[in-house]
Homo-oligomer: A and B are copies of this chain.
């Protein structure tokens, strides 16, 4: 079992829910922000605040979380469990359940309930209230942590944009390359056409050849289909050509 090495802090905005016997009353903020981070390798800290008078916290050790895992009944490795925790806390419908006993009281009790998705095991964590300086420390820590994560993410955007730019350059280079080859091919085709029209002059084979070889037509074509257009080579010569071909391949290897 391992702890929370390199645990990336999680920020989320939980939905507010009210416990059944609760009296929401008025004057409560309707927005909370939560922050989950590892203050050290063996603990996970969960903080939730409305930046007014309601700030809550839970600290869970690796051992406590492992007990929770047993209760909930999540199998697999510790890493898989941490992955499930992270996915649950990052999910869109993390719920902050609040309980307020009378209108004059503040929130008496808070609980964070999360699950990766519907039907999956519920992670439920009771939170204790933070007051005064502890609450302000939690708010500060959350906001500066969020700002750090924001800056990191902005840098990621820049990196990704730079990456896209490089890829765009590669595309240009590849396009240029295939245009070059295409134009070489075009030249060769023209040359062949000349040669074959030349030959036409002499041996007068069927006439459709020239049009078939046009570069336009070849551009989008599968190489197999072009098969160098069957250039009306009589059978006896084809046989000969096959012999020559083997030699050519060997020549290529030598080069």
Contacts and interface: CB of A to CB of B under 8 A. Distances in A.
Interface string A238-255: 001100110010011001
A190 B188 CA distance: 12
The prevalent SS among residues of A at the interface is helix
Interface in A178-230: 178, 180-185, 187-195, 197-199, 201-203, 210-211, 214-228, 230
Interface stretch (A70-78, A102-110, A140-148): A140-148
Contacts of A189: 188
Number of copies: 2
A133 to B, nearest CB: 8
B255 A230 contact: no
Contact of A178 (B146, B177, B203, B228): B177
B228 A191 contact: yes
A33 interface: yes
In this complex, which of A184, A189, A195, A233 has the most chain B Cβ atoms within 10 angstroms of its Cβ?
A184
B147 A147 contact: no
A167 interface: yes
Given A160-B164, A171-B167, A202-B230, A252 B214 contact: yes
Given A184-B218, A203-B228, A142 B143 contact: yes
Given A33-B147, A184-B226, 9 more contacts: A51-B136, A187-B223, A190-B245, A194-B241, A198-B244, A201-B237, A201-B240, A203-B224, A203-B227
